[in-house]
Chains A and B, each alone.
Chain A
């Protein structure tokens, strides 16, 4: 069974630029999560999708962050414009259904200069 795929693995941008991350969950997993992990901290949930609908985006900075999962499969997280404090690892996870075990991808390490 293929795991959660994420790309790119690394990205370096200048502040005020835009960036997008892609995630392909495990086949058949209805629930998809995006987390932000700042160096030295635990992951923090940004947004949770159930199929193509948003379940929880209360921690998503909506003035600059957006995410979509149009067909209920893969998902894109965008930051526009990026700030220095957005430097972090962005992790995608999926679960078969809500409340079940979450499987994590390798993450995208973003550096904003």
Chain B
């Protein structure tokens, strides 16, 4: 079975500070991993995805994530937070075969303090 755990339902950072959002996955086989962002009253937008190529994945808006198999983690980082980064962030996992359904974590709400 596939699942993800996002540590911290709320994270606050100061503008210009490092953003670190944590995601750990559980999967019996190597999965695909994704980070999505959701702004208020909008759908989800893909930030980045890991599909078993490079372990360090760069996404949009300056975000990146590193796949660490030994730690079963896929944490999302951004060196310098911007006010526009305030949103809900979801980590998701998908098996590489079969129906390829996405299994989402419970989300982390990021607040950026001016």
Q: Which residues of B from 14 to 62 have beta carbons under 8 Å from A?
A: 32, 36, 41-46, 49
> How many residues belonging to B are interface residues under a CB distance threshold of 8 Å?
23
> How many residues belonging to A are interface residues under a CB distance threshold of 8 Å?
23
Bound: A42/B46 CA distance, A: 14
Of A12-20, A64-72, A98-106, the one touching chain B: A98-106
Number of A-B contacts (CB under 8 A): 54
B99 engages A55 (CB within 8 Å): yes
Bound: A41/B4 CA distance, A: 12
Q: What 3 A-B pairs have minimum CB-CB distances, sorted nearest first?
A: A42-B104, A104-B43, A99-B100
Q: List 24 A-B contacts (CB under 8 A).
A: A33-B102, A40-B106, A41-B107, A42-B90, A42-B92, A42-B104, A42-B105, A42-B106, A43-B44, A48-B101, A55-B99, A91-B43, A91-B44, A93-B44, A98-B100, A99-B96, A99-B100, A101-B46, A101-B49, A102-B102, A103-B46, A104-B43, A104-B45, A107-B43
Residues of B within 8 A of A (CB): 9, 32, 36, 41-46, 49, 90, 92, 94, 96, 99-107
